């Protein structure tokens, strides 16, 4: 028996209320999490994404996942954005999970990644002390 997926958050008398951007991306990741193996993009129709929309979301997700990490710091009146990684660290992180690279080389990349993060943090802390 197939699970029924609701494409909209709720219904009103006039028309359904569409999911927010956050709800859409959460739906994609929840769907991916439930999959046991590689699957075609067309399966995202099961959660309400046509192929064109699915392609746009997947490209956006891929782009974001390849960017340097940031940290959001919420204050009483503002949200501050801090760069946690630089482009070098983002590249090292990407190489660590690349299964086409031999394990020994990936292990070296993760060591380099951690060392570069440590250096970055030390330099940041030195700047503020």
Note the pLDDT tens digit of each residue in 56-111.
Answer: 999 999 999 989 999 999 999 999 999 888 888 888 888 998 999 999 999 999 99
Per the domain annotation, does 15 fall within a domain?
yes
pLDDT of 11 = 58
Note the pLDDT of residue 1.
44
Does 77 share its domain with 120?
Answer: yes
- Tokens in use for 91? 């590249």
In this structure, are 91 and 56 located in the same domain?
A: no
Whether 22 is in a domain gets the answer: yes
pLDDT at 48: 93
pLDDT at 50 over 50: yes
Count the domains in the chain.
2
> Which pLDDT band holds residue 24 (cuts at 50, 70, 90)?
very high
Within a domain: 116: yes
C-alpha span between 106 and 42 (Å, rounded)? 32
In a domain, 105, yes or no: yes
Q: What is the dihedral of CA 16, 18, 23, 24, to 10 degrees?
A: 120
d(CA 47, CA 12): 20
**Domain stop point among 65, 86, 108:** 65
114 lies in which domain range?
A: 70-128
Residue where one domain finishes, among candidates 26, 44, 65: 65
């Amino acid at each position: 028996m197939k699970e029924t997926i609701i494409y909209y958050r709720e219904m009103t008398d006039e028309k359904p209320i569409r999911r927010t951007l956050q709800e859409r991306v959460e739906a994609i990741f929840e769907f991916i999490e439930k999959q046991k193996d590689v699957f075609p993009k067309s399966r995202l129709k099961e959660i309400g994404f046509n192929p064109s929309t699915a392609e746009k979301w997947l490209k956006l997700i891929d782009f974001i996942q390849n960017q340097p990490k940031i940290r959001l710091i919420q204050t009483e009146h503002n949200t501050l954005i801090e760069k946690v990684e630089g482009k070098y660290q983002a590249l090292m992180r990407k190489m660590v999970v690349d299964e086409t690279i031999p394990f020994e080389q990936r292990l070296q990349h993760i060591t380099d990644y951690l060392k570069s993060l440590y250096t970055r943090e030390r330099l940041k802390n030195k700047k503020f002390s």
